[in-house]
Amino acid sequence: MAPWALLSPGVLVRTGHTVLTWGITLVLFLHDTALRQWEEQGELLLPLTFLLLVLGSLLLYLAVSLMDPGYVNIQPQEEAKEEQTAMVPPAIALRRCRHCMVLQPLRARHCSECRRCVRRYDHHCPWMENCVGERNHPLFVAYLALQLVVLLWGLYLAWSGLRFFQPWGLWLRSSGLLFATFLLLSLFSMVAGLLLASHIYLVASNTTTWEFLSSHRIAYLRQRPGNPFDRGLIRNLAHFFCGWPSGPWETLWAEEEEGEGSSQAV
């Protein structure tokens, strides 16, 4: 590996996230918070549980940030092209990416940061230096949920260690770092909570962030009102988390087209 690869944005961001995570955890253990009180009382189950949750959130973060989000195969395959084109209704023409020169499936988009086309593209996450797409989106939602639990618990722990009855100078020396940690955790909790709520809404309606924000720019969404991929709450959640019912998005689009055609005929 080249030396400059160690200083790539992805390595720096993931290292920063890891250092910040364990740094905040260390601050919570070193100050007179509920964690230390539980340790002194011999109640080790809660501190151990907190550590396991922190470790789990960190592992999920690394998994989402390092895994393939669902890149479109860049190898030209004429048979795959014919099969893919055959599944698309005549009203929809698959786009060829002018960067990758591949035929993009429905809901795919080219990411300028990753320089690849991503299936069911949601967004490029700068905090992970990776795209969120068809393969890692469920893990991304799971990470947000677990991270929010850890942040809220950490927020409670930081608050439990703050003492406001001390003189200002003494308080600043003894609790200044813990108070800064409390402010950071408050900010991160709000961001994680908003992200989790927005992604749960998008998953429930089978929409991506890209489609929600840019529906006026996307050809297959401009042609009709509403979301052609929405199959109801239960089926949307089952498809997102379990991959059921399976099948390419082109097939779902064709089914929706046939359903609308039948209803209009009646």
What positions carry a catalytic annotation?
Answer: 125
Are 83 and 103 in contact, with CB atoms under 8 Å apart? no
- C-alpha span between 61 and 47 (Å, rounded): 21
Beta-bridged to residue 71, according to DSSP, are 118
Are 36 and 29 in contact, with CB atoms under 8 Å apart? yes
Which residue bears the tokens 């001390």? 166
Beta-bridged to residue 125, according to DSSP, are 130
Q: Is the peptide bond before 105 cis (omega within 30 degrees of 0)?
A: no
Are 120 and 91 in contact, with CB atoms under 8 Å apart? no
Backbone phi, psi, residue 96, to 5°: -95, 125
